[in-house]
């Protein structure tokens, strides 16, 4: 194994981080100037704190993951900074600046957890020793909202749990545990699962058990929690990981068929799913535009149309007309005020994370590390596709948060944990006092 040269990645990462901080500061200043013709209150102090916190995170990466991919952390910072700027712009106009401040605190907590994950997981391969424990923990977290007295329902979906004053969405963390479990399980069973029968190389009946189990779990989430997004993400990441592990296209085809069957069953039996499909198909019908579910999609499209190519400018549009604009429809707010170019920039940032994650997977020789990188990247990519596709009316809206950008503390923290695991995978084991090996 070869030692990774530190200085080139150090210089590249430092430059990218400075650029990310500058972009975030410019966006924060622009929204204040657009709203009130003046810089936001405490602009210099808040910018300095943001730079100090994100800079500390980069120092931690340099210490604990010297050979890590240089683009992942700065890209996450610019997404987080743009999200905070847009959240401040929305909530100040609505007279709720404390919500934007809370999201800034959650971003800081996410960065702290990012560093803590790097410190605790010094060798990513050690997670391979806890296959079934991690899998059980993930399954419990996914199904925790259905427990009476613990989970509760918001907007038709049972996603949240409450322990005293603490409320969060356990599925955000459950997905990460399931990805780790799948990476460990599939790396151990890949040769057995790769065996095919017939000219088409179809999987053996006994090898379909894991796929059917994942399908059943995703259906349980759909029917018990009425969470379309979590159900789609769980089964999608499982199918992708099985496909990568085995190299059998037949698993991908069977997975798509099972997903279509599950989606059709959900549409037949769940009014919540039927309503989402109706919103998708008929959002712009004149008689529906004023209704909440239809109006959300309609206002989102109006926002994109208003923004055009370059947008109205931060603070100069009317994104607050969109219901739930800070969570489900924050991409539409970017579309109105930064235009198609701004939306493309945000989506390209996610494309950078996906591309770097897949590159890490290609570079790994250990099957567990390779599958873990694929799984973490697939979760991120699918989540962005599901919410962006819903806002743009390519698919029915599921209400999944836009990672690192949308309102939601749980999502921010879980995203930073996933990125920390990717960074650790790319850097190799951390042995204090020694350079990382790959």
Residue 98 and residue 54 share a domain: yes
Residue 423 and residue 356 share a domain: yes
Residue 145 and residue 193 share a domain: yes
Mean pLDDT, the chain, as a whole number?
Answer: 85
Residue 149 and residue 82 share a domain: no
In a domain, 184, yes or no: yes
5-47: pLDDT as tens digits: 444 566 888 899 999 999 999 999 999 999 888 898 889 999 9
Residue 233 and residue 278 share a domain: no
Domain count, the chain: 2
Mean pLDDT confidence for 240-261: 84
In a domain, 156, yes or no: yes
Residue 174 and residue 36 share a domain: no
Looking at per-residue confidence, does 273 or 152 come out higher? 273
Q: Residue 176: its pLDDT value, please?
A: 92
Residue 215 and residue 359 share a domain: no
310-338: pLDDT as tens digits: 999 999 989 988 888 888 889 999 999 99
Flag the least confident range among 39-53, 199-213, 296-310, 396-410.
199-213
Residue 419 and residue 278 share a domain: yes
Mean pLDDT confidence for 59-72: 91
Band of residue 396 on the pLDDT scale cut at 50, 70, 90 = confident
Assess contact for 65 and 424: CB atoms under 8 A: yes
For residue 331, CA distances in Å to 19, 65, 80, 83, 123 come to 22, 32, 13, 10, 36
Q: Residue 344: its pLDDT value, please?
A: 94
Model-level pTM?
A: 0.89
Mean pLDDT confidence for 182-202: 72
130-169: pLDDT as tens digits: 888 998 898 888 888 888 777 777 666 677 787 777 778 8
Q: Residue 5: its pLDDT value, please?
A: 42
Mean pLDDT confidence for 377-390: 92
Band of residue 403 on the pLDDT scale cut at 50, 70, 90 = very high
Supply the range of the domain harboring residue 329.
6-120+273-427
């Amino acid at each position: 194994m070869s030692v990774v040269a530190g200085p080139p990645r150090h210089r590249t990462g430092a430059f990218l981080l400075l650029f990310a901080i500058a972009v975030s500061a410019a966006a924060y200043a622009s929204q204040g100037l657009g709203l009130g013709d003046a810089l936001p209150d405490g602009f210099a102090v808040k910018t300095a704190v943001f730079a100090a916190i994100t800079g500390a995170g980069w120092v931690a990466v340099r210490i604990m993951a010297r050979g890590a991919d240089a683009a992942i952390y700065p890209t996450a910072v610019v997404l987080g900074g743009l999200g905070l700027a847009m959240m401040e712009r929305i909530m100040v106009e609505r007279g709720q600046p404390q919500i934007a401040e809370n999201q800034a605190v959650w971003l800081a907590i996410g960065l702290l957890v990012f560093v803590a994950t790097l410190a605790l997981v010094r060798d990513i391969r050690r997670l391979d020793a806890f296959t079934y424990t991690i899998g059980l923990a993930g399954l419990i977290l996914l199904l925790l909202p259905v427990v009476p007295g613990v989970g509760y329902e918001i907007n038709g979906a049972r996603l949240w749990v409450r322990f005293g004053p603490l409320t969060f969405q356990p599925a955000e963390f459950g997905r990460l545990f399931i990805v780790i479990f799948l990476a460990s399980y599939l790396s151990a069973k890949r040769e057995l699962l790769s065996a095919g029968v017939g000219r088409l190389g179809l999987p053996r009946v006994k090898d379909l058990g894991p796929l059917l189990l994942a399908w059943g779990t995703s259906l349980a989430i759909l029917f018990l929690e009425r969470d379309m997004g979590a159900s789609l993400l769980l089964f999608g990441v499982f199918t992708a990981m099985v496909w990568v592990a085995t190299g059998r296209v037949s698993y991908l085809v069977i997975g798509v068929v099972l997903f279509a069957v599950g989606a059709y069953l959900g549409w037949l039996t769940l009014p919540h799913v039927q309503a989402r499909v109706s919103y998708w198909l008929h959002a712009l019908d004149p008689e529906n535009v004023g209704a909440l579910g239809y109006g959300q999609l309609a206002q989102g499209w109006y926002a994109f149309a208003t923004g055009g190519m370059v947008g109205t400018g931060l603070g100069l549009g009317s994104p607050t007309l969109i219901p739930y604009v800070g969570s489900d429809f924050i991409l539409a707010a970017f579309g109105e005020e930064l235009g198609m170019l701004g939306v493309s920039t945000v989506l390209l940032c996610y494309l950078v994370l996906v591309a770097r994650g897949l590159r890490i997977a290609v570079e790994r020789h250990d099957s567990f590390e390779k599958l873990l990188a694929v799984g973490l990247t697939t979760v991120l990519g699918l989540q962005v596709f599901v919410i962006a596709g819903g806002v743009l009316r390519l698919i029915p809206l599921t209400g999944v948060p836009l990672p690192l950008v949308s309102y939601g503390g749980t999502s921010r923290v879980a995203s930073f944990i996933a990125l920390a695991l990717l960074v650790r995978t790319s850097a190799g084991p951390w042995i204090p006092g020694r350079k990382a090996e790959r």
